[in-house]
Amino acid sequence: MSMQDTASSGVALWRLVADGIERGIADGRFAAGDKLPGEMEIAETYRVNRHTVRRALAALAERGLVRAERGSGTYVEAQKLAYPLRSRTRFSEIVGAGGREPRGQLIEATDDVATRELARELGLKAGAPLVRIEAIRLADRTPICVSTTWLSAELFPGAGAVFAATRSMTKLLEHYGVRDYRRGATRITAGIVDATDAARLDLALGRPILVVDATDHDLDGKPLMTKHSRFAAERVEFLVES
C-alpha cells in the first residue's frame, strides 16, 4: 500500500475494492449478467489506480464471481449452482444449502393427454388424462430452470391450483398425502435454448441448456410425476456422487 495520507490498516486496497464489489453483487446492486462499471470508473469511485481495480477484479474472477470480456466490459457471473444428483433431490434444499433463497413460479397449468412415451414413464395408458405444469425455479432472483411436469389428472386432481398456491412440488405431493419420494432414472442431455425458454430464463439466444428428464416415484416404486427440465447451463453445475 502506498496510502501516504492514511495510517496503514493491514488490509490491502485491492481487497477493499474487491469486497466492495462483492457486496454489490451480494445485495443485488449488480445482478447476474450485469455489466460492471468500467475499470477507470471503478478506480475513480474508490480513488485508487486502475491497476488496483484490476487486481480486485482478478481476485473476483478467480472465484468465478465476475468475467471480463476484452473490449466490452466486466460482467457479473451468475454463480453456478452446485446441483448434486442423488435419488433424493430437492431443489429448495439444494438452493438453500448455498445460502440462497429458493423460489418457484407457476407459468401455466393445463390439461393434457398422455403420449405413448409419457404413459410408459407414468405407468398409465396412452391417452390417459394428465395435468401439465410449466414452472420456473429461481435462486434469489436468478432463474435456474424451466420445467414441464406431468402428473396423472386422476391421482392428483387440481394439481395446478395446488402448485400455484404452494410453489413447490414437494408441498404439492404432501397435499395429496405423499410424504416422501425418490428420483428414478435421470437422463441428461444438452441443447440450445429456444426462444420461449430464453425469455423465461432471461437467457441470451443461442446459449446452451442442460436438459434433464426424470421420473419421481414414491417409496413403493409407483411413478408419481415425470419432468422435462431445461437448466441454464451457465448457472448450474450438476454433481454426481463418486
Give CA–CA dist 63/15, Å, rounded.
13
**Nearer to DNA among residue 41 and residue 194 (C-beta):** 41
Residue among 83, 97, 90 nearest 240 (CA): 83
Give the footprint of DNA on this chain (CB under 7 A). 1-4, 8, 10, 12-15, 36, 38-41, 47-49, 51-52, 54-55, 57, 68-74
Rounded to the nearest whole angstrom, what is the least distance from the CB of residue 56 to its own copies in the complex? 9
Q: Which of 4, 5, 6, 10 binds its own copies (CB under 8 A)?
A: 10
Q: What span, in angstroms and rounded, lies between the C-alpha atoms of 59 and 57? A: 5
- Give the chain's length: 242
* φ, ψ dihedrals at 91, nearest 5°: -55, -45
Q: Among residues 3, 5, 6, 9, which is the contact residue for its own copies, using CB under 8 A?
A: 9
Binders of its own copies in range 40-79 (CB under 8 A): 59
Binding of residue 173 to its own copies (CB under 8 A): no
Classify residue 11 as exposed, middle or buried by CB count within 10 Å of its CB (0-12, 13-18, 19+): exposed
| Interacting partner of 18 out of DNA, its own copies, none (Cβ under 5 to 8 A depending on kind) | its own copies
Tell which residue, 8, 36, 38, has the closest CA to residue 22. Answer: 36
54 binds, among its own copies, DNA, none (CB under 5 to 8 A by kind): DNA
With binding defined as CB under 8 A, does residue 21 bind its own copies? no
Query: Any idea what the Cα angle at residue 80 is, between residues 77 and 81, rounded to 5°?
Result: 145
Q: Which residue has the cell 393434457?
A: 112
Nearest to 134 by CA among 149, 152, 144, 118: 149
> How far apart, in whole angstroms, are the C-alpha atoms of residue 216 and residue 202?
28
State yes or no: residue 25 binds its own copies (CB under 8 A).
Answer: no
CB of 232 to DNA, least distance (A): 19
- Longest Cα–Cα distance of the chain, Å, equals 79
Nearer to DNA, 42 or 151 (CB): 42
| Shortest distance, position 69 Cβ to DNA, whole Å | 6
Residue 192 contact among DNA, its own copies, none, beta carbon within 5 to 8 Å by kind: none
Strand 66-69 vs strand 73-76: parallel, antiparallel, or unpaired? Answer: antiparallel
The one of its own copies, DNA, none whose footprint includes residue 21, by CB under 5 to 8 A per kind, is none
Residue 185 in grid coordinates: 432414472
3, 11, 82, 113: which one binds its own copies (CB under 8 A): 11
Find which of DNA, its own copies, none residue 125 binds, CB within 5 to 8 Å per kind: none
Minimum separation from the CB atom of position 70 to DNA (A): 4
Q: Which residues bind its own copies (CB under 8 A)?
A: 8-12, 14-15, 18, 59
